Amino acid sequence: MSDHKHNSFPNFFILGAAKAGTTSLHGMLTQHPEIFMTRNKETQFFFNDNEYALGINHYLTTNFSGAWRYPVRGEASPSYFHAPERVAPRLLDSPGRDEMKFVVVLRDPVQRAWSHYLHRVRLCAEPCTFEDAIACEEKRLRNDPHLWVGYYRDGLYGKLLNEWFEYFPRDRFVIVRYESMVSEWQAMLNNIATHLGVSADYSWNKLEEKNVAGVPRSKWLMRFLADIPAPLKNAGKLFLGRDQIVHYRELVRRLNTKRSAKPALNPEVERMLRGRYEEDITTLERLLGADFSAWKL
C-alpha cells in the first residue's frame, strides 16, 4: 500500500445507532478544516461482506481520495455499531487499528425505536403497526438477519458497548447524547474535536436537522426506490457508480418527502418498552459511570 493510501485510512468512526443523529453529526464535523469525512456518509465497508471482499485499496480509493492531507479522517455507518462481532475484527485487521477512535451517539432507546419505525413507514417498507413490529421482531430477524427491523434490538446500548469494549479500550470512545446535539451542540463538537486531537477552538455552524419526520408525496415512487429492479440498478452502477446511485436515490427520497408533525407514540407501548430496556440501561450506566435514569420508567 502506498504511503498516501496508508495515510488516508480513517482514524475514527461514528458508531451511533440509526436514527440517533449520526447524519447531522457527520455533516457538522465536515465543517472542520482538519477533519475529512466521506462524501457518502455510510460506506458500509466493514459490515457488508460484498463491499469488504473488494479490498482495502478499493475502499480507500472510493471513499478517501485526498484524505491523506487531513490529520483526522472518518466515516459514519450506523450498521457498524450494531455488529461488533463482525466489524471490530475487521477493523483490528486493518492498517489504522493502532490509532482508531470512536464517537458513539446515543438516543433515548424508546424514541430511537419509534423514529426508526416511522422512517421505514415513510419509505413504504413497513406494513406492520409498531406494536406488531416489536412483537414479531425476533422472528423477522431470524428469517432475515439483514432486514432493517431491529427497532428494539438496536437500542440495547449497554450490550453493544460492552461488546465493543472487548475489542478496543474504553479511552478510544467518546460518548455523545442525542439531546446535546440540540441543546449543547457547540460544547459537544468541541469535546469531539478534543477527543480526536484537532483544534477545539473552531467556530462551528449548526446545520439543518437531517432525516426529519414526514410522509411520502408518492408512495409508488418510495416503494420503487426501496426495491429498484436489478437490471436498472446494475445499469445505473455501470454508468454512474454505486456512490452516485446512493446519492441520487437519497436526493429523490428527500424531494418526495413532505414534512409533517411526528405522530405520538402510544403511552402504553412506551411504558412496555421502557420496562424492557431497564436492565440494559442499568448496564449502560455501570459501563459509562453516567446517569441515564431519564430513559427508565
Q: CB of 112 within 8 A of CB of 154?
A: yes
C-alpha distances out from residue 55 to 49, 61, 100, 233, Å = 10, 10, 19, 22
Q: In sequence order, what are the beta bridge partners of 214?
A: 259
The pLDDT assigned to 251 comes to: 61
- Nearest Cα to Cα of residue 113 among 143, 81, 148, 160: 148
Q: Side chain identity at 63, as an amino acid letter? A: N
- Nearest Cα to Cα of residue 207 among 75, 16, 27, 35: 27
The pLDDT assigned to 202 comes to: 87
Domain residue ranges in the chain: 3-110+151-208+269-295
The pLDDT assigned to 211 comes to: 56
- Nearest Cα to Cα of residue 37 among 45, 46, 28: 28
Radius of gyration of the chain (CA): 19
Instruction: Please name the residues in contact with 232: beta carbons below 8 A apart, sequence gap of 6 or more.
Output: none
The pLDDT assigned to 182 comes to: 80
C-alpha distances out from residue 198 to 77, 177, 191, 194, 206, Å = 22, 21, 10, 6, 19
Q: In sequence order, what are the beta bridge partners of 258?
A: 215
Q: CB of 288 within 8 A of CB of 164?
A: no
The pLDDT assigned to 262 comes to: 78
Kindly state which CATH superfamily the domain 3-110+151-208+269-295 is placed in: P-loop containing nucleotide triphosphate hydrolases (3.40.50.300)
The DSSP element (H or E) to which 75 belongs, if any, is: strand 72-76
- Nearest Cα to Cα of residue 35 among 208, 198, 204: 198
| Mean pLDDT per 10-residue segment, the chain (297 residues) | 68 91 91 93 92 94 94 94 96 92 97 95 92 96 92 97 97 93 88 95 73 60 61 61 60 61 90 98 97 95
Look up residue 268 and give its three cell numbers: 402504553
The pLDDT assigned to 204 comes to: 86
